[in-house]
Structure 1
Amino acid sequence: MAETRLYIARHGKTMFNTIGRVQGWCDTPLTTIGETGIRELGLGLKEAGLEFKVAVSSDLGRTVQTITIAQRELGILGKIPYYQDKRIREWCFGSFEGMYDAELFSGVLPRISGVVDANTMTFEEIANGVHEADSANWSEPWEVLKERIFNGFERIAKDLEKQGGGNALVVSHGMTIATLVNLLEPERPTNLALDNGSITVLRYENEQFSIEAVGDMSYRQTGARLLEGYEK
């Protein structure tokens, strides 16, 4: 049986990413720069000789757009199974969706939690703070959020393992990927800098995940060089 690995990409840069607005379950499309970044990612993954048995994204438009571009550059679009799993969606920020990041993380959360800087808060404190303040009551408390995220990625790995292992190309979201990493290695800082198009690699063996890379930008960097060469 081949080893089972998840190559988890953060989606390409979107309109809301660019202007610093909270983007959880609300959605904006990739910008032209964001699309180019994912072309780079796909080309870099192909150059590395990686082969994928399955492709999985969340059901939000920005991850669907991302995985389509990446698969096209890899030459595997329509050639391997692809499905969506809403469990690997971004956090839901409820009534704070679309708010400027600074308003939420430097204004609302510190006021609720009595802290000076939300960057010092744990994911549990952030999730429960948002949930407490969410007038729409759409956001998820920490216990629900962490179970959703972990179960989503675990199911992808288990299904792949049952098929004999191999690599899965997965596209998810910044805070979702950072939460998964924190659940697996709580000693890591929660303010991970996961760039758009970065890759986090998890190995799955004996019903356990191990982290092999977090926020790896080398595939995009390789792809950028290739893309520049193609366009000359």
Structure 2
Amino acid sequence: MIVINNPNNPTGVPIPRDLIDKIVDFARARDIIVLSDEVYRPLFHDGIENNPNMPPSVADLGYEKAIVTGSLSKAYSLAGIRVGWIASRDKAIIERLAEARHYTAISVSQLDDQVASYALSPAVRGPLLKRNIDMAKRNAGMVKAFVEQHSAICSWVAPTAGTTAFVQFRSEGKPVDDVAFCRDVLDKTKVFFVPGSHCFGRGEDFAGYVRVGFVGSSAVLAEALQKLAAYVGQNLGQ
């Protein structure tokens, strides 16, 4: 099985169409299942209408052994109702997944089901996504301004989708100990990050990187970035 995450968490960067095509072609030639986690789709910061940089869902590429997961938790800001979906063109895969589901969750509540149906209705889905995309784009811009202002000690690949960013912090030209950094920032500022090497690199890769969740109240994010600026000025020399 090949597992991909698109748009990516934690970087917030989508896998481009040409690379997705290569992955699917590789899998098709070898009869390999492709599992694409697309819970942040369609939260693309440039919108979903006439956006040439928005890659297709793997479900739309015609490969029978593709499995796609989606959710109302991320792009639709409805994590509380715990509703998501799995899609595949392979009936046997869906039947096996349905059998497994019977052992974990027989059904969602009728109330959650009604909220999900309402959120995905034609009259609501568009405005709801626009609200969330606008918020994501605005807040990503705030994080971008911080990174550019402190470019001597932090860097990233700017996110263009989703609600997270992956930022590397450095001290004296070397990556910080991201676990210790996150703990110290939390202790001194109450700003919470996820250490990249510990959570995504098995303690070996992504040294100095932290996962930043930036979608929520813009006022809260502004306050957090202000506190972080004061912290790095005092502790990282900028």
TM over 0.5: no
Greater share of helix: 1
Q: TM-score, normalised by structure 1?
A: 0.34
Largest Rg, 1 or 2: 2
TM-score (structure 2 length as normaliser): 0.33
